[in-house]
Structure 1
Amino acid sequence: MKASLLVLLLALGVSRLMAADAVSLFDGKSLAGWTGQDGAKPGAGWVVVDGAIHLNGEKGGNLLSEKEYTNFDLSWEWKVEEGGNNGIKYWVTKINNKEWLGIEYQMIDDKKHPDGMKGGGTHSTASFYDIQAPAEDKPMNPPGEWNTSRVVAQDGKLQHYLNGKLVGEADTASEDWKTKIAASKFSKKEGFAPGKGRIMLTDHHDKVWIRNIQIVEK
C-alpha cells in the first residue's frame, strides 16, 4: 500500500512528502489562498502551469497569503529565467498605510541580473535582501533548473536554507541585526518586519516558477 502511494505521488510530480503537520499554500491548480495587495484580484501575469505558480513576464503585482504567520517553517521550490529576479517575503505588513514590506528571501540569477551582486552579496540568492549576505559556498542550481529553499522563523531567530544547506542566520533582537537594518534601505521604514505578517510572492517583472509551497506553524 505504501509503495503504491509513493509511486502515485512520484507520477504526479510530487518531489517530497509533506510533513504530517505541514499545510500546503498552493493546491497545484489555482491561486486559492492568495490575493493581490489590499485584497485585489491577482494580476493576469500570475498563472498556474504544470503544477507551478508562474509569473509569465506580464504584470501580475505582488501576491499575499490570506493568513499571517509568526513562527514557522516555510519551504518551496523555484526557478527563474536566465537573467531573472524574484523573491519571497515574510513578516509582510503594510508600512505607513502605504506599502507592503517584509524580509525578502532573494531568488535571482546572481551572475546575469544587474542587481545580483550589488550590496556586497546582500542582493544575491538566499540573502536577507539588502540586509545580510548568504554563505559564499551556497549550493545553487543555475537559471532554468529547480532550487529548493526554506525559511525557519522561531522567536525572532531566522534561518535561510538553499538546496538543503543552512546559508544564513539572523537574530532580529540582536544589535547586529539592528545595525544592518540601519544600514539598509529599510532604515526609515518604521515597523518593518515586526515579527509576524503575511507571506508575499513578489513581482519583479521577470519570469519565475514556484511550486510545492508548504508551511508548518510552530
Structure 2
Amino acid sequence: MLMGCAGEPKDTAPWKPLFDGETLNGWTQMGGEAIYTVKDNAIVGTTVSNTPNSFLTTEKMYGDFILELEYKVDSSMNSGIQIRSNSLPHYRNGRVHGYQVEIDPSDRAWSAGIFDEARRGWLNPLDNNPAAQQAFKQNDWNHYRVEAIGDTLKTWINDVPAAHLIDDRTASGFIALQVHSIRADKEPGTDIIWKNIRIITDSLHKYSRNTPVAPIITKNDLGSQERERGWKMLWDGETTQGWRGAKLDGFPEQGWEIKDGVLYVLASGGGESEAGGDIITTEKYGDFELMVDFKITEGANSGIKYYVDPELNKGPGSSIGLEYQILDDARHPDAKEGNHEGSRTVASLYDLIKADPNKPMNGPGEWNTAHIISKENKVEHYLNGMKVLEYERKSPAYRELVANSKYVDWPNFGESDRGHILLQDHGDLVAFKNIKIKPLN
C-alpha cells in the first residue's frame, strides 16, 4: 500500500529551462512583426496583419538535445516549433529556415509532424499515423517532446509517438516559437501560448526514448512535397543505375566507390584519371534544376558539368561541358588560374565566370550543396543557398567569353539544347550524395 501511494517516479533528468517565466531574456525575434509577450508564466504570440512568419528564437544554438514544452493554440491558427534552424544573410535575405515541429489544429491534424521551413517542405507528415493525429487536444494544452540526436529526429504529442525522421541536412541551430502569417481576410489578434519550455543537452542516450514509428529516411531520397513539385533522384544511394562512364557503355570498374549512401570519386594522383574517368547520366536533360551535395578533401579538384555531349571529345581527358567548379580554393593552384582571375574557383562557371568571392563555402571534410538552375538559356549557380553567379547561354556576352577561353576550339560550346549531367573524376577524393533533378521542360 505504501508503494502504491508513492506516486510517479521522480524525474531526475538534467533539465534546464529555456524560459524564465517572467521575461524574454535569451530570446530574440526574427522574421515578421507578430507580438510576443509574457503573461502568467507563459509566452504569448499574437498574430498581426500584413507581416510574414514571425519567430521568437533562442539566442543560443543547439545541436543534439531533448526538448519538452506545452502549448495552447487557437483552432484557427497554424504554428510550429523550429529546431536546428538558422537565419543566414546569404540565404533568402536572412529568412529563417530549418526543421519545424508542426502545430496544426486543422482537420488535417499533422501536429508534431516535421516540416522543412523555407526549404524542402514536408519531410514527415502524419497522414500514416492516425494515433498521433487523434492525440491533439483542441482548445487545450498539448505537450510536445522532441529528440534531436545525430541525424535522427523524433517527436511525441501528449506522449503518443508522432514523427521519426532520419535526415542530415542541418546539425545545429536555434530553437524558435513561430507565429504564422495570416491571410488578409483573417482578423489579427489570435494567440498561441507556450509554457514549461525545458531542454536536456547532456547524456542524451541515457534519456532518449524508443519509438515504434518506422523512420522516414531522406538521405538520397525526396520529401513528399519535393515529389509533388517534380523533383527526381538522379542517384539512388546504393547502385550505379542511371549512370555510366563518359566514354564507356557501362559504369567504370574502378575509380569510383559507393559506401554508406555516399558516392566517392577516388584519389589517383590529382590529375584527370584514366582508372575511372568521369561519369554521366544515361539520360539527357534540357531545362532543369539540379542539386548535389558534395564534400571535398584538402587540395581537391572536381566538378559538375551540364549539357555534356561526350561525342565532342573522343580523345583522352575530361568530357566537354559547362562546369560548376568544385575546388579547394585555399590549397589548389587552379584557384588563381583561368581566363579571368578566379574563374576556376569553387562554384564558378569554370574558366568563364568567377563566382561571388563572398560565397559561403564549407571547407574540407564538410558537406556543401551545389544548386544549378537552367531555364530558357538563363543559368544560375548557387552554393549553400546563395546565388553566386548568373549568365545567359547563347547570348553575345556568353559567346565572347567562350571565344576568349580554352573552349574556343569547340564549335557552339555549351549551346546544346539537351545534354548529360556529369560528375568529374579529376584524380582527387571527393564525395557526392543527395543528387536530384527537376526537369523544367
TM bucket, shorter chain: over 0.9
Structure 1 residue 97: Cα displacement: 5.9
Shift of 1:15: 8.4
User: 1:172, CA displacement in angstroms?
Assistant: 1.0
Give the conservation status (yes or no) of the 8 Å contact 2:359–2:388: yes
1:41 and 1:140 mapped to 2: Cα distance?
30
Q: TM-score, normalised by structure 1?
A: 0.92
Q: Which residue of 2 aligns with 1:210?
A: 432
CA contact under 8 A between 2:286 and 2:417: conserved in structure 1?
yes
Q: Which amino acid aligns with 1:110?
A: D
Q: Distance in 2 between matches of 1:97 and 1:160?
A: 25
Q: How many Å separate the matches in 2 of 1:146 and 1:98? A: 33
Q: Please identify, of 47-56 and 158-167, the stretch whose mean Cα deviation from structure 2 is larger.
A: 47-56
Aligned length: 218
Give per-residue Cα distances to partners, 1:100-137, cap 9 Å, x unaligned.
31101000100101112212111000011011111111
1:117 aligned residue: 336
Structure 1 counterpart of 2:295, one-letter code: K
Pairing 1:132-151 to 2, within 5 Å after superposition: 132-151=353-372
CA separation of 1:166/1:16 partners in 2, compared to 1, >3 Å: closer, same or farther? farther
Matched, 1:9 2:166: yes
- Aligned counterpart for 2:243 among listed residues 30, 34, 38: 34
**Helix, strand or coil for the counterpart of 1:116?**
helix
Partner Cα separation in structure 2 for residue 25 and residue 54 of structure 1: 15
| Residue-by-residue CA offset, 1:125-164 (whole Å, 9 max, x unaligned) | 0011011111111111111110011000001110000000
Cα gap change, 1:43 to 1:183, in 2 (>3 Å): farther
What's the CA shift for 1:14?
2.8
- Aligned: 1:62 with 2:284: no
Higher Cα Rg, which structure? 2
C-alpha displacement at 1:94, in angstroms? 3.0
Describe the superposition over 1:154-209 as per-residue Cα deviations: whole angstroms up to 9, x where unpaired. Answer: 01110000000100100013211111111111011113222320001111000000
CA distance in 1, matches of 2:253, 2:241: 13
Q: Give the one of 75, 80, 89 matched to 2:296.
A: 80
> Residue 185 of structure 1 aligns with which residue?
406
Partner Cα distance (1:26, 1:152) in 2:
18
- Aligned partner of 1:200 in structure 2 is 422
* Structure 2 gap segments, 5+ residues each: 1-109, 115-122, 125-162, 168-214, 269-274
Identity, in percent, stands at 35
Range with greater deviation from structure 2 (15-24 or 174-183): 15-24
**d(CA) in 2 for partners of 1:148, 1:74:** 10
- Retained in 2: the 8 A contact 1:95–1:189? no
- Runs of 4+ that moved beyond 6 A: none
TM-score when normalising by structure 2: 0.47
Alignment of 1:103 with 2:325, yes or no, is no
Matches of 2:254 and 2:394, distance apart in 1: 39
Residue 71 of structure 1 aligns to which amino acid in structure 2? Answer: D
